[in-house]
Amino acid sequence: MKLFGKSFGDGLMETEYEVIIIGAGPAGLTAGIYCQRRALKTVIIERASVGGQILYASKIENYPGFGKTTGMEIAQKMDEHAKDLGVKIINEEVTGMDLIGNVKKIMTHENTYTTNSVIVATGGEHRKLDVKGEKEFIGKGVSYCTTCDGPLFKDRIVAVVGGNNMAVTDALYLSDIAKKVYLIHRGDLLKAEEIEQEKLKRKNIEVILNTTVEGIVGDKMVKSIKIKNLSGEVKNIKVDGIFVSIGIVPSIEIAKKAGIKVDDKNFIIVDREQRTNVDGVFAAGDVTGGARQISTAVGEGCTAALSAYKYVRKIN
């Protein structure tokens, strides 16, 4: 086998890149770092901001080695690390993929790139409540990012919807800004880490369990939300804003169209080596499901990169 830039004697054809990584969240950036260190000609294609979903995390306390930090800080350090090693990041949106054969094509609005292997690390998008008023009031009191919009609600009343780690940390963050915070969760128990739940007791946060949000009401801005408990009781709560933190929907449409298999929850199916059903295509991070944590994404990004290296270099 010869190095990139020549034709390969063992089946792989000359391409523009040896690895294309789609997505620059923790999984994609980690994959880029490992691919670069293995001297693979690599590019990361990211349609939005480098860092992905962790940019919305106002506070992180469980990522080893960082102590108390923010998603923005971790994202910046990962971005700097990757760029210091020479990882190329292109800000374009992938619109399609042709993954058949040894020469794979990645299409964006601007260009078509060729590669020997692909790592899909597209993460996900905020899950929506899908209730009346949600779409109408986005940016007018409905938000999915506390660090972006929280400061706009100083000394006001807000609600956070969700029971996971992100929802609880969002509520805690907002409690230092807002006059009052409601934390509304449809289950009978919060899913957040116990150490975070304990902090709720010391804040101006009212936890409402076994309750769903049925609608969002307002005129020019959000004025109240309609909630319903398990017994069917419906009432309105006056709020100035509502922050939705109910999880992530994996971004898999382009992958599915390209023939990559997903499970019944629309997560990409991978094995222990992060291999998909398509030869030379790997996936990592939130798009594969499981524990949606930075540490998990980093681990999967590393594994995917090493698997891509073995694939490109034909190492068993």
Residue 181 has pLDDT above 70, yes or no: yes
Distance in angstroms (rounded) separating the CA atoms of residues 189 and 185 = 8
pLDDT of residue 35: 98
Q: Does the structure show a pLDDT above 80 at 92?
A: yes
pLDDT mean over 186-204: 94
Catalytic residue, chosen from 10, 35, 149, 188, is 149
Helix 294-312, helix 26-37: angle, nearest 10: 40
- At residue 3 the predicted structure's pLDDT band, cuts being 50, 70 and 90, is very low
With cut-offs at 50, 70 and 90, classify the pLDDT of residue 7: very low
pLDDT score of 297 more than 70? yes
Find the range with the poorest average confidence among 35-39, 49-53, 86-90: 49-53
Catalytic residue among 84, 130, 148, 219: 148
| CA distance linking residue 277 with residue 260, whole number of Å | 6
Instruction: Please tell me the predicted confidence (pLDDT) of residue 8.
Output: 45
pLDDT at 290: 81
Q: Could you tell me the pLDDT band of residue 58, with boundaries at 50, 70 and 90? A: confident
| Token pair for 88 | 């190329």
Based on the residue annotation, tell me whether 188 is a catalytic residue of this protein.
Answer: no
Domains along the chain with CATH numbers: 17-126+248-312 (3.50.50.60), 142-244 (3.50.50.60)
Which H or E run contains 288?
none
For the entire predicted model, the pTM comes to 0.84
Residue 149 appears among annotated catalytic residues: yes
Q: What per-residue string of b and e applies to 240-252 under the rule 16 or more CB within 10 Å gives b?
A: bbbbbbbbbebbb
State the sign of the Cα–Cα–Cα–Cα dihedral 16, 21, 23, 26: negative
pLDDT > 70? residue 109: yes
Q: Which helix (H) or strand (E) holds 72?
A: helix 71-84
Q: Is 302 a catalytic residue?
A: no
Q: Which one of the listed residues 35, 98, 130, 145 is annotated catalytic?
A: 145
